[in-house]
């Protein structure tokens, strides 16, 4: 039984939609889908306009995701140092006040009855905790704060840490804004693209019914037709740190989807020579003719990545 392979990536669907529109226009009144398009209220020109707009929103979402990642990295660059300082400071104070751990609450600590101190991972909460610690420290007469020996020995400047946390909060806010913008762009993309995808499936299905004995006829309309005895399977692959894998039997016209969390480098063929296509988290890559074999690489040394690919073997 013939199966249609409809690209799930926007560029692939635009290519298919353009081919359908070109064929339909060339055939004119004799087009085998003319009446079907009218009956289903499908306007190929509108669909193509919407698809291109969706592509622009998708690119904007990728850009915003990249900006969010950059802002988060800038936030962590400052915040992680401050958090490390605070862990040491509170451990020092904990030993100083032992066994009266509740005294650390006056320094802004979140502490259990057993003396366990929790350092917030939330940026604003960490800034608040630092402000309380600094206020308590500076509230002692000059040179008498119990914390002074530790921060002097460690070379910690609480004023510098306060400035660093101000920058961390700023970058955290910018990251949140970028993430929200990316989500809005994806929503706009999907609202535009979902009807287009539905129309491509409907048109392909109608063409299959029009040419039941000759499904290869659909190639004239830009559709990829799979007539293999075994149905393609969606394979999910996880690559650990710096791992790579070569996958064959990838269905032409299908899509590789990066499930994240980091980038996946994609090479055409069995080697990693040349410049890879960098597939960011959440992005999709259309599989074009001549790309049934690909090599995938996880460039990260800190996190695993996961992707899906449609194969026939």
Show Cβ contacts of residue 28 under 8 Å, excluding neighbours closer than 6 positions.
none
Task: Tell whether 256 and 121 lie within a shared domain.
Answer: no
DSSP 172-211: HHHHHHHHHHHHHHHHHHHHHHHHHHHHHHHHHHHHHHHS
What is the chain's length? 313
Task: Tell whether 110 and 157 lie within a shared domain.
Answer: yes
Comparing 22-36, 54-68, 178-192, 288-302, the range with the smallest average pLDDT is 288-302
Determine the pLDDT at residue 11. Answer: 94
Task: Tell whether 121 and 183 lie within a shared domain.
Answer: yes
Task: Tell whether 220 and 72 lie within a shared domain.
Answer: yes
The DSSP letter of residue 254 is -
Task: Tell whether 125 and 249 lie within a shared domain.
Answer: no
The DSSP letter of residue 11 is H
Task: Tell whether 159 and 247 lie within a shared domain.
Answer: no
Task: Tell whether 105 and 240 lie within a shared domain.
Answer: no
Domains held by the chain: number: 2
262 neighbors 303 (Cβ within 8 angstroms): yes
Task: Tell whether 2 and 126 lie within a shared domain.
Answer: yes
Token output for 104: 């650390």
Query: Taking residues 98-123, what's their average pLDDT?
Result: 89
Show Cβ contacts of residue 84 under 8 Å, excluding neighbours closer than 6 positions.
none
Token output for 69: 């990642």
Task: Tell whether 23 and 123 lie within a shared domain.
Answer: yes
Query: Taking residues 96-106, what's their average pLDDT?
Result: 92
pLDDT single digits (tens) 181-233? 999 999 999 999 999 999 999 999 999 999 998 999 999 999 988 766 667 88
**Which of the listed residues 179, 195, 227 is the one where a domain comes to its end?**
227
Task: Tell whether 56 and 205 lie within a shared domain.
Answer: yes
Determine the pLDDT at residue 1. Answer: 61
Q: How confident is the model at residue 172 (pLDDT cuts 50, 70, 90)?
A: very high
Query: Taking residues 257-261, what's their average pLDDT?
Result: 90
pTM given for the model: 0.77
Determine the pLDDT at residue 3. Answer: 81
Per-residue pLDDT at 313 exceeds 70:
no
Phi-psi region of 39 (alpha: psi -120 to 50; beta: other; left: phi over 0): alpha
Query: What is the span of the domain harbouring residue 22?
Result: 1-227
Task: Tell whether 138 and 263 lie within a shared domain.
Answer: no
Task: Tell whether 18 and 131 lie within a shared domain.
Answer: yes
Determine the pLDDT at residue 230. Answer: 67
């Amino acid at each position: 039984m013939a199966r249609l392979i409809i690209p799930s990536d926007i560029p692939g669907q635009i290519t298919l939609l353009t081919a359908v529109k070109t064929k339909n226009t060339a055939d004119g009144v004799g087009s085998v889908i003319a009446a079907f398009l009218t009956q289903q209220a499908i306007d190929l020109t509108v669909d193509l306009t919407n698809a291109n707009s969706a592509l622009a929103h998708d690119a904007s979402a990728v850009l915003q995701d990249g900006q969010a990642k950059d802002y988060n990295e800038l936030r962590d660059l400052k915040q992680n140092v401050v958090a490390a300082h605070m862990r040491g400071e509170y451990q020092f104070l904990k030993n100083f006040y032992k066994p009266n751990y509740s005294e650390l609450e006056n320094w802004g600590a979140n502490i259990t009855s057993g003396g366990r101190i929790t350092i917030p991972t939330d940026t604003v909460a960490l800034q608040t905790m630092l402000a309380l610690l600094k206020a308590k420290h500076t509230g002692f007469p000059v040179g008498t704060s119990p914390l002074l020996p530790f921060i002097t020995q460690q070379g910690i400047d609480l004023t510098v840490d306060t400035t660093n946390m101000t920058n961390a909060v700023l970058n955290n806010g910018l990251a949140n804004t970028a993430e929200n913008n990316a989500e809005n762009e994806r929503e706009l993309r999907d609202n535009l693209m979902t009807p287009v995808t539905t129309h491509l499936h409907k048109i392909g299905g109608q063409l299959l019914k029009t040419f039941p004995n000759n499904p290869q006829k659909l190639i004239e309309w830009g559709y990829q037709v799979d007539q293999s005895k075994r149905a393609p399977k969606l394979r999910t692959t996880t690559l650990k740190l710096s791992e790579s894998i070569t996958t064959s039997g990838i269905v032409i016209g299908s899509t590789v989807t990066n499930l994240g969390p980091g980038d996946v480098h994609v090479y055409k063929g069995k080697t990693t020579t040349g410049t890879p296509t960098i597939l960011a988290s959440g992005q999709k890559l259309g599989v074009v003719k001549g790309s049934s074999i690909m090599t995938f690489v996880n460039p990260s040394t800190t996190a695993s990545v996961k992707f899906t690919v449609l194969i026939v073997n």
